[in-house]
Amino acid sequence: MTIKNRFVGILVANRTQRKQVLSQYLTHDATGVKLISFTPSSIDWKHRTVVGLHRVKGKWSIDRFPFPEVVYNRCYGSDPQLLERLKAVIGGNHCFNHINQLNKLDIYNKLTRWLAPNLPETLPYEEADVIKMLERHKEIYFKPLFGSMGRGVYRAEMNPSGDVRVGQHYFAPKTVTNDHLFFQEHMKKLVSSTPYIVQKGIPIRQIDGHVFDIRSLVQKNDQGLWSVTNLVSRIAYKGSFNTSIFDKTCLSEEILKKLYPPHKVQDIMTSIYDVSLRTAEIIDLETDYHLGEFSVDVALDNDAHPWIIELNGQPQKSLYRGIPNRSVVYNRPIQYAKYLCEKGS
C-alpha cells in the first residue's frame, strides 16, 4: 500500500501487545499523525519495511509500511543492538526511549552531583560492605541493578540489639538472625549472580498505616520541552513496603491534603516538580539516552522531605486508569513524536 512517510511507529514486544498498546494511543491521539504498532520480528531490514497494525476506517488492519519516520519504543529492555540499528536508519533523534531499562547505579551517580540532598545513599552490592551500611543506616534495601516492578527487592533492618531482619515485599521478616556472617551468606544466596545495588532506607511517611509513593510523570511536549504531566500515588497493601503491588492509586494531591495543611501541600508538590524537571535536565545533559518520557518515584520522610527512590524509563500506563484527565498521559508522547517529525522535515 502507498502512504506518505509521515507516521509514527510504536515498537512493542510481541504481536499480542500491538492492539492493546496502539488502542491506548489512538483513543487519545489528536495530533493528526498516522500511528502503527510493530514488533522487532516484523522488521525487514533489507527492504526497510515493517509489518504493522493500524486502524483504517474504524477497522483493524495489518499491512506492510516503509520505516516509520519516528519510533516510540514501548518494548521494555529491548535488544540495544536492534535499536541502534534502527536509529542508524531513521536517525538517532527520531527514536525515543530506545533505552528504557535504566541502570540504577549509573542514574544515581549522574544525579548525585546536583541532587544529593534528595538521594538516599546507594552503593553497588559488595558482600564486605553490607554490614557497614546496615550499621550506618539501620535499614537498607537490596535492588537488582536493572530491576523493575519491585521484583527481587529485599529489605533488611538492624534493631538496637543487633538482630537483622530480612523481608521481601512486606515489613514482616522472613529471616531473623543475630549472626552477621549468616546474614551475609543469606543475602549472597538471594542475590546470586545478579548485579545488585544497596540503598539506604528512609522512614517513609504513611497514610492510615499504608506506605505510599509519589510518581512524577515527566514527558516532553509538542515543543520538545520537559514538563511534569501529573503526580500519582500508589498506596501499598497494609504491611507492605512495595508500592509496585499496590492496593489503589489516586492523584497525590488527594493524599497530601489529608496529611498536610494547604500551604504545605503546595510546597511539597512544587519541590517534587522542581526535582523532577532538574532530573530530566541532568539526564539529557549527562547521558546519551533519548527519553521522551520517564517517571520519578518519590517518597516523603516524616519531615515531608522528598527522596528520589528510582527512575523508570518505561512508565506503567495502566496505573493511570481512573485518574482524572489521564488523556494527556497518552497525548504527550504522540505530540512529541510529531514534533520530531516536523523537526526532521
Average pLDDT over residues 320-335: 90
Domain coordinates of the chain in residue numbers?
7-96, 104-118+205-313, 122-200
The three-state DSSP-derived secondary structure of 13-53 is: CCHHHHHHHHHHHHHCCCCCCEEEEEEEEEEECCCCEEEEE
User: pTM value?
Assistant: 0.93
Instruction: Look up the CATH number of domain 104-118+205-313.
Output: 3.30.470.20
Angle at 7 between CA 57 and CA 288, to 5 degrees: 145
Give, rounded to a whole angstrom, the gap between the first and last alpha carbons of the chain: 23
* Bridge partners of residue 55, in order along the sequence: 60
Residue 3 confidence (pLDDT) above 50: no
Longest Cα pair distance anywhere in the chain, in angstroms?
Answer: 74
* Each residue's pLDDT tens digit, 193-223: 999 999 999 999 999 999 999 999 999 999 9
- CATH match of 122-200 with 3.10.450: no
19: which residues sit within 8 A by CB, 6+ positions away? Answer: 37, 53, 60
What are phi and psi for residue 107, nearest 5 degrees? -60, -45
What are phi and psi for residue 312, nearest 5 degrees? -130, 120
| Mean pLDDT (the chain, rounded) | 92
